[in-house]
Amino acid sequence: MTVLTLDKQQDGYTIIESFQDKYPDKFNEVLAHFRNSSYKKDMFKKRTQISAWVFMEIIDYGTLVLFLEFCKGKVQKSELNLYESQHKFIKNIRNSCAHNDVYLINLFPQEERIARPQAASKTFCINMGINQSFVHFPKIGDLINLFYLHKKVCSDNLNQRRYSEGRWLVDYYTENYTLFQKSVYLTKFFNSIFIKSVDFLSS
């Protein structure tokens, strides 16, 4: 939103019209949900055109990822161009949380090991002090991308809030270490990945 607002070449409407031209089915799906939402009925009735600001309020995360990919190269130099390909990893965790899936299982499955992870993910590991070999595992790669982008894109205040929440979980792990140490996978996850990811938010 900040990028589109500050980009003097964008009026907030043209880019949505271009998105509609390229992805008419997806746009019509979004519009149908908007039109039929009892929560947003008044918001819909007041508009003859959809601006980027409204669009961002009514789309789901999958459409957000598609929109970010679409915006690449269409906005002036920004984090959108630097990080747009990483949002699909964050989407995995967002969907897992939304459906109340269990995250702390199958953390290091050899059968699902990614042969060639994205170079950006490996770079994130270096910056966060995490061994690069861990991004070969899907869930770990998703988490590393989530924490790295949160640190780089979100405000200092929000990062500090997430850091405090993360430290609460780290403290719980430390206080109950005898319980967690029964699983070599959980101790490896917390000691080698999660604690470093949380500390990165405050670095």
Q: What b/e sequence results for 2-35 when a residue is b if at least 16 CB atoms lie within 10 Å of its CB, and e otherwise?
A: ebbeebeebebeebbeebbeebeebbeebeeebe
Helices (H) and strands (E) counted in the chain, each on its own, are 14, 0
Determine, yes or no, domain membership for 35: yes
Does residue 98 lie in a domain region? no
> How is 107-163 classified by DSSP, letter by letter?
SS-GGG--SS--HHHHHHHHHHT--GGGGGSHHHHHHHHHHHHHHHHS-HHHHHHHH
**Residue-by-residue pLDDT tens, the chain, 203 positions:** 777 888 888 888 999 999 999 999 999 898 887 777 665 566 656 666 788 888 888 888 889 888 888 887 777 656 566 566 788 888 888 888 888 888 888 999 999 999 999 899 999 999 999 999 999 999 999 999 999 999 988 899 999 999 999 999 999 999 999 999 999 999 999 999 999 999 999 98
- Dihedral of the alpha carbons of 139, 145, 147, 149, in degrees to the nearest 10: -160
User: Looking at this protein, which amino acid is placed at residue 155?
Assistant: S
169: amino acid identity, one letter: L
Residue 178: inside a domain: no
Domain of residue 38: give its range.
1-77
In a domain, 137, yes or no: no
Contact (CB, 8 A) for 103 and 162: no
Structure tokens at 134: 């861990």
Q: How far is CA 143 from CA 25, 76, 88, 128, 169, in A?
A: 31, 28, 11, 12, 15
pTM higher than 0.85: no
55 assigned to some structural domain: yes
Long-range contacts from 58-64, C-beta under 8 angstroms, 24+ separation: 58/30, 58/33, 58/34, 59/30, 61/91, 61/94, 61/95, 62/91, 63/26, 63/30
pLDDT of residue 69: 83
- Could you tell me how far CA 78 lies from the centroid of its own chain? 16
For the chain, how many structural domains are there in total?
1
In a domain, 190, yes or no: no
* Within a domain: 26: yes
Give the per-residue pLDDT at 61.
84
